[in-house]
Amino acid sequence: MFPLDMARHSSPLLLAAALAVLLLPHRTEAAVTLIEDNFIWKGTPTAIQDSNASLTIKGPAPSQGNARTIYLKFDLTGHTIAEGNFADLTLTSVTTASNPPTSFSFALYALNTGGAAWTESTINWANSPGLGTGTFDLSNTATTFLGNFNTLPAGYASGSPISVSFADWDNYRQADNTLTLIIVGTAQSDAGPSISFASSENGNAAIRPTLNLSAVPEPSRSLLGLLSLSVIICLRRRPSARL
């Protein structure tokens, strides 16, 4: 028997795969409008916070009596799953490194369908939809964990972003075509400081919260990248010597 000469017998298939990789369309994104945002303060449960240009967060709850949690509401009108099943959320810090220097970690939750309506001018800790006795003071049945943001290290600079990607965003569409996202503090190296992020009212539009929808081709781009590398290697190999 003779070993298979991959360079000779498989080159048409490999070339076709390489061409498919090269012709893969660029990733497109659809921006979703943020229409309501505020933060709630556990230490003053009936007070309505004036988010103004920033949104403050502090954790972890429930042990932290001064915990603060961020609520964001996005308008999904006109957006469908055809734009992609994936979403990327980004916020930007507007505070400088805490004193003492503190690292912060955050998690993202979605308000499940059927959640109570809320507005930024009336929301507080006592009436916030999705709160309960579960992890980080959230209801285990009214909210769904979507993912963890990148951690901001101690000594972070103002303007530092945090972001998280998640899938199945359309599963959390409310009856009024909105999506409510909840951001909680999961850990911080010192319990004292809090941190603030730019809100939708911030004067600098470039650092306001953003939510972008996108489609990720199947197979993933990383796998296709590996495929293209394999193609190059195979095509460069010398034909195997016959026995």
pLDDT cut 70: percent of the chain above it: 75
**pLDDT of 12:** 55
Quick one: DSSP state of residue 11? Answer: H
Q: Indicate whether 9 pLDDT > 80.
A: no
Domain ranges of the chain: 6-25+220-236, 29-214
- Per residue in 205-230, pLDDT (tens digit) is 999 999 999 996 434 444 444 444 44
Hey, is 169 helix, strand or coil?
Answer: helix
Which among 114, 136, 109 is positioned nearest to 125, based on CA atoms?
Answer: 136
- Asked whether the predicted pLDDT for residue 147 surpasses 80, the reply is yes
Query: pLDDT tens-digit profile of 99-127?
Result: 789 999 999 999 999 999 999 999 999 99
Question: What does the block give as tokens for 212?
Answer: 């972008």
What phi and psi, each to the nearest 5 degrees, are found at residue 231?
A: -60, -45
**Mean predicted confidence (pLDDT) in 26-35:** 84
The answer, yes or no, to whether residue 195 has pLDDT greater than 50, is yes
Average model confidence (pLDDT) across the chain? 84
Is-contact 209 200, C-beta < 8 A? yes
pLDDT of residue 216: 67
Query: What's the average model confidence in pLDDT over 139-152?
Result: 97
Q: Is the pTM of this model over 0.85?
A: no
pLDDT at 52: 81
Whether the predicted pLDDT of 1 surpasses 70: no
Cα–Cα dist 108/63, whole Å = 19
For 141-164, what is the mean pLDDT? 97
Residue 2: what pLDDT? 44
Mean pLDDT within 169-187: 97
Q: Which of 228, 220, 185 is nearest to 14 (CA)?
A: 228
Q: Dihedral of CA 44/46/47/48: which sign?
A: positive
Give per-residue pLDDT as tens, 156-173.
999 999 999 999 999 999
